[in-house]
Amino acid sequence: MLIKLLRNILGQLIIFIDFITRPRKLKRSAEAQAAVTQQAGNLALYQFHACPFCVKTRRTLHRLNVPVALRDAKNDAQARKDLEQQGGKIKVPCLRIEENGQSTWLYESKAIIAYLDQRFAAA
């Protein structure tokens, strides 16, 4: 009981610190941002709201100004089921990438951030 309370307090603290220290969004022309938004339509981030690695990944999405669909794998039973059945395991963060009719499930915050930086930083 005490550990759960401590985890909840730390989770809220992480979210608060993220909010007050959030990086600035990358500025793009309207056409370039529209292209990024279209490309991001093929992405979904499975995450827990207060997970530090998920916060780190969401900060990158915010910094790169990439509007990715967020799936709450903790509180949304369907998202959790999809993550387990299609992704192979319940582990967050996980980025689902839909390309050419196939899904790729990318785990690990460092790998996800590297993918996002490579794909969207120069866009």
Report the pLDDT value the prediction gives residue 25, as an integer from 0 to 100: 92
Rounded to whole angstroms, the Cα distance separating 98 from 96 reads 7
Whole-number pLDDT of residue 2: 86
Measured distance CA(55)–CA(48) in Å, rounded: 9
Q: Which two tokens mark 14?
A: 């992480």
Q: In the structure, what pLDDT confidence band is assigned to residue 33 with cuts at 50, 70 and 90?
A: very high
pLDDT of 123 strictly over 70: no
Mean pLDDT, residues 80-109 taken together: 94
Per DSSP bridges, beta strands 102-107 and 94-99 are antiparallel
**Angle, vertex CA 116, rays to CA 79 and CA 21, nearest 5:** 85
């990024």: which residue's tokens? Answer: 36
- Determine the distance from the C-alpha atom of residue 120 to the mean position of all C-alpha atoms in its chain, rounded to a whole number: 14
Domains along the chain? 41-123 (3.40.30.10)
pLDDT tens digits for range 10-28: 889 988 998 899 999 999 9
What band does 120 get if pLDDT is binned at 50, 70 and 90? very high
Predicted TM-score of the model (pTM):
0.88
